[in-house]
Amino acid sequence: MRESGRVAIVTGASRGIGRAIALELARRGHVVMVNYRSNSEAAETVVAEIEAIGGQALAVQADVSQMADANSLAKTAKDAFGAIHILVNNAGIARDGLLMRMSEADWDAVLSTNLKGAFNCVKAVQRTMLRQRWGRIISIGSVVGLSGNAGQANYAAAKAGLVGFTKAVARELGSRKITANLVAPGFIETDMTAVLDDKVRAAACEQIPLGAMGQPEDVAAAVAFLVSNEAAYITGQVLCVDGGMAM
């Protein structure tokens, strides 16, 4: 299949890692559906950035934790461009706190967006991918899902769940040339890490063999490889983009 011109849905694409993924896929010639939940201005800015480099994009509002919204997102992509080749499950939230103090609402919110959201989106796109006998599904996990982290029981559980989910999807859909892989970032310079004080950042970097936080573009490059023709024989895998942190 010709690599450029594929249709990609990137959830949570209005900022941070999602934005970097959307821009990188656009640079490689893909049409990008820039999904957002609430910040339409930021999403439209990403669309404008893509159009400025000669790409094609469309901003689409959807709360992926809701099945109806995920179905609407997929339908919009199919109606607008006739196909869905790539799904990047990037949308995620954090509600950190020690387990003793974590509310049921905080647990449910994180699991609903970070894990159920991926389920909803794969359900929404899989029929199209099965019919076209080709697809790439990438979920953005976290090294926290592999190692755990104090104060993030909900986030770690959701990201760990994505590992098992990805492997199950890879087994179920592989016969139709649909691959499913997970990219697990470590500490990446985003809005979520920008709030960390210098002491916490220094302590984090001490745990990273490469000695520094990564950039959103590092994650985007890994995603771009996994959706490419060169990665056609890679499925059910976890790729850590973490400077060696999870070794």
CA–CA distance, 7 with 32 (Å, rounded to integer)? 6
Instruction: Provide the 3-class DSSP secondary structure of residue 56.
Output: coil
Interatomic CA distance for residues 168 and 170, integer angstroms:
5
In whole angstroms, what is the distance from residue 103 CA to residue 99 CA? 8
Question: CB neighbours (10 Å) of residue 51?
Answer: 12
Catalytic residue among 36, 107, 119, 155: 155
**Burial of 196 by CB count in 10 Å (0-12 exposed, 13-18 middle, 19+ buried)?**
middle
Q: Does 36 participate in catalysis according to the annotation?
A: no
For residue 4, give the nearest of 54, 44, 48, 49 by alpha carbon.
Answer: 54
Catalytic sites, residue numbers: 155
